Amino acid sequence: MIRHIAGALAFVLMLAPLAAGAQGWPGDEPIKIIVPFSAGSATDIIARTVFDQVGTQIGDTFVVENRGGAGTTIGSAMVARAEPDGHMLLVNSTSQAVVASTYAHLPYSVAHDFAGISELADIPFVIATSTKYDTLADLIAAAKKRGSHILYGSAGVGSSGQLFMERLRLAAGFPATHVPFRGTPEGMNELIAGRIDIYPAPLLNALPLAKAGKIHVLAVSSTKRLALMPDVPTLAEEGLPNALYNFWIGAFAPAKTPKPIVDRLNREVVAALNHKDIVEKIRNLGGEPAPMTPGAFDAFVKKEIAINAEIVKASGFQPQ
């Protein structure tokens, strides 16, 4: 009997520091948000928009750190290995699910090394091109000509942008060569300069450039037209329903983060996503707020891993 009591007491004492840490979150130090894309990308802007509001709500500082490269895996690996105390979080896009199939030797498990906090926003891709193409039909016709050499960019090998472009070109039946960049801003600069032909960009990165006449936007990846670009057709309207693609942005913690911290983060993120100013900002960026419970978000990510694995298999993409 005494042995059982002593064992139970030892177990409680072992858990005490963890529980105390969870109750005391966020503590004294700033909370770091790792974004595995360059500054100015859609994921970066949404992260800053949402967590600035969360910081205001809890009276603490969230610091965004951009760690792009290797198709988002460098930044994600940092968070997977971080102390699970709520002081280092990840904001990533659909690429979080994509790399599970496009990288053969990841230094972490997408399915097991992260705890979902919530999805933040759904933001559709648009087909952004140089100004020499006026319609998607023009682009596809040019790409199919003998001797053509169409270049498309993305935010890295194995990223969601590359996977979306592979799905598009297979559905439309044209050849193209991939050019990886560290993030969307760098790729869009090359598009404006005419050194690449296509960039699958989140609407918020493409809209100001399209309004300025620096690029053309030929189609959107969503199931319906966008309020901010009502004249731009969907891929289904262009005869390519099999090219539709879901681009989302979400927040994650290391897998062993105590449930009280994950739940508190979820409550604060959901409150931010329901704040009228944040809703308006996200919609003005071409997105839609998408709050979820941690459990629902974890289940969503697992489904996204499976969906993107099917796209990888169909495209013949060889894991890196």
Residue 4 has a pLDDT of: 47
* Rounded-to-10 torsion of CA 212, 184, 167, 47: -110
Residue 15 confidence (pLDDT) above 80? no
Residue 9 has a pLDDT of: 42
**Cβ contacts of 225 within 8 Å, gap of 6 or more:** 232, 233, 234
- What is the side-by-side strand order in the sheet with 288-289? 62-66, 31-35, 88-93, 248-254, 114-122, 288-289
| Mean pLDDT, rounded, for 298-320 | 89
Which tens digits make up the pLDDT trace of 95-121? Answer: 999 999 999 899 999 999 999 999 999
Categorize the per-residue pLDDT at 196 as very low, low, confident or very high, splitting at 50, 70 and 90: very high
Residue 5 confidence (pLDDT) above 60? no
Chain mean pLDDT for the chain: 90
Q: Do domains 30-123+247-315 and 125-243 have the same CATH topology?
A: yes
| Mean pLDDT, rounded, for 18-39 | 76
Which tens digits make up the pLDDT trace of 244-299? Answer: 898 999 999 999 999 999 999 999 999 999 999 999 999 988 899 999 999 999 99
Categorize the per-residue pLDDT at 201 as very low, low, confident or very high, splitting at 50, 70 and 90: very high
Length of the chain: 320
Categorize the per-residue pLDDT at 7 as very low, low, confident or very high, splitting at 50, 70 and 90: very low
Residue 157 confidence (pLDDT) above 80? yes
Residue 296 has a pLDDT of: 98
Categorize the per-residue pLDDT at 227 as very low, low, confident or very high, splitting at 50, 70 and 90: confident
Residue 24 has a pLDDT of: 59
Bridge partners, residue 64, by sequence: 33
| Mean pLDDT, rounded, for 217-226 | 92
Two structure tokens written together for 123: 């933001």
* Rounded-to-10 torsion of CA 137, 245, 182, 254: 180
Among 222, 178, 210, 216, which Cα is nearest to 196's?
Answer: 178
Residue 46 CA from chain centroid, whole number: 10
Identify the CATH homologous superfamily for domain 125-243. Answer: Periplasmic binding protein-like II (3.40.190.10)
Residue 137 confidence (pLDDT) above 80? yes
Other Cβ atoms within 10 Å of 240 Cβ, number: 20
- From the CA atom positions of the chain, what is the Rg in Å? 21
Residue 39 has a pLDDT of: 92
Categorize the per-residue pLDDT at 17 as very low, low, confident or very high, splitting at 50, 70 and 90: very low
**In the chain, what are the domain boundaries?**
30-123+247-315, 125-243
Note the CATH architecture for domain 30-123+247-315.
Answer: 3-Layer(aba) Sandwich (3.40)
- Residue the block writes with tokens 């890295």: 156
Lowest mean per-residue pLDDT among 27-31, 104-108, 198-202 = 27-31
For 172, list phi and psi in degrees, rounded to 5: -90, -20
pTM, rounded to two decimals: 0.84
Residue 2 confidence (pLDDT) above 70? no
| Mean pLDDT, rounded, for 172-199 | 94
Bridge partners, residue 128, by sequence: 199, 217
Residue 293 has a pLDDT of: 98
Lowest mean per-residue pLDDT among 48-57, 81-90, 151-160 = 151-160
Residue 188 has a pLDDT of: 95
